[in-house]
A = this chain, B = another copy of it.
């Protein structure tokens, strides 16, 4: 697990591979100009490395350019709760930039590339580019909505419902970003990650995944994941097959 590495290389924002995706809103020229100037570099981290640590405050705000990460909190005795997963386009470190301190940690799930934005210039974004400021709020509200859903999941759904819900949710997010191939995808998670996200033990997670596989709703292989029947998954999860919101910002 190497240390985070600061990259001299910097993908110019005009060529950002994310902006052309349907999930992101188009940028005005002045916005693009500012963001390009706002972005101070890139951070490349290996899978398994900590990006941000509980109780520290970072000088930067990040967006995920490529790869997967997850936010989590730990109790002194080692119990861990994964709060959510970050995919390309997601904001990381907002709490640290807006509040004083971060009260959660972030770890790279795969090799990860982050765009770096100095928090000192965040204020300039708010004063000069209200549309971008609104996007930041939009992202925060969207993340809160996902947290709401996750909390309902952990608090009130049964093990198999939760598991189906989480897997379906992650698959759909990956799909929006073009990270899937039909019903298959590269799956960076270990069963331990699923367990810690759902507030379950590893063993019980294993049993539950097996039950899902037995019911022919999905398949879980080493680092790959396949949905066999979305309907079945959705039915088990109690998933609302609804909206798809367009996405702004990097």
Contacts and interface: CB of A to CB of B under 8 A. Distances in A.
Most buried by B among A73, A136, A148, A199: A148
Contacts of A21: none
A100 interface: yes
Interface of A is mostly: helix
Contacts of A127: 130
A190 B238 CA distance: 28
Interface string A123-151: 10011001101101110111111011111
A101 interface: yes
A145 B238 contact: no
A173 to B, nearest CB: 16
A79 interface: yes
Interface in A62-85: 71, 73, 75-76, 79-81, 83
Given A95-B144, A130-B127, A238-B75, A80 B137 contact: no
Most buried by B among A140, A157, A198, A238: A140
Copies of this chain in its oligomeric complex: 2
B138 A98 contact: yes
A13 interface: no
B156 A75 contact: yes
A155 interface: yes
Nearest to A246: B100
A28 interface: no
A99 interface: yes
A94 interface: yes
B149 A148 contact: no
A209 to B, nearest CB: 18
A167 interface: no
A140 B156 CA distance: 24
A201 to B, nearest CB: 11
Contact of A243 (B80, B101, B238): B101
Contacts of A120: none
A157 B75 CA distance: 9
Interface in A32-74: 71, 73
Interface of A: 71, 73, 75-76, 79-81, 83, 94-95, 98-101, 103-104, 123, 126-127, 130-131, 133-134, 136-138, 140-145, 147-152, 154-157, 198-199, 238, 243, 245
